[in-house]
Amino acid sequence: MKKVLIAYGTTEGQTEKIADVIADSLRSRGLDATMLDLRDSQDEAPDAYDGVIVGGSIHVGKHDKRVVDFVEKNRGTLTSRPSAFFSVSLDAHSATGEAEKYVDEFEEQTGWRPAKVALFAGALLFTQYGFVKRLMMKRIAAGKPGTLGTLGTDTSRDYVYTEWDGVRRFAEDFAAGLSAPGT
């Protein structure tokens, strides 16, 4: 059974939920999927896996530092086997073009140019944010028209923008690539 590592960095938990759906999809295709929360450990060596998926969310215009560090440390391994990256942000929902820029910067910074990249919309979890974060995120969500103004601003509830079908397709595509002859 081929082994896949899903290493992810999350702050409010949405990237973890996405990683979980990816893991389930891979398992249902007969792969052995292991999730690695980079908050807990960055020492797992990905070279014991046949494929590696890395995911991270955006906060204040940047990918999670733990994800950047993990990729920098393991770039050689990531380029030597099937690997993919997914980026989680609100800009991916608003289609401003910013989500692509975050990934360009990430690739520039880490030197890793993954063959497969997915941009997934994240979540606005107003009910879980503290006072300052809630205020800040409400301002951002209200945004300028045409940018982030397509987001919800009712702070008494949460908004999840992730398109789960797209997440499953990404996982299925990765599984198909890994099962292809010669991989």
Ligand X SMILES: Cc1cc2nc3c(=O)[nH]c(=O)nc-3n(C[C@H](O)[C@H](O)[C@H](O)COP(=O)(O)O)c2cc1C
Distance in Å, CB of 115 to ligand X, minimum: 23
Say which residues have a Cβ less than 8 Å from residue 91's Cβ, sequence separation at least 6: 58, 97, 98, 99, 102, 148
Out of 6, 26, 88, 178, which residue is the one contacting ligand X (CB under 6 A)?
A: 88
Near ligand X by CB under 6 A: residue from 23, 114, 122, 151: 122
What does the DSSP 8-state code read for residue 133?
H
Among 39, 101, 113, 133, which residue sits at the site for ligand X (rule: CB under 6 A)? 133
Can you read off the two tokens belonging to residue 97? 């073009």
33 contacts ligand X (rule: CB under 6 A): no
Cα of 115 vs its chain's centroid, Å? 15
* Alpha-carbon dihedral sign for residues 28, 31, 32, 36: negative
Considering only residues 6, 10, 33, 112, which one is a binding residue for ligand X as defined by CB under 6 A?
10
Rounded least distance, CB 176 to ligand X, Å: 26
183: tokens are 């991989």
- Which residues make up the interface to ligand X (CB under 6 A)? 10-15, 57-61, 88-91, 122-123, 133, 137
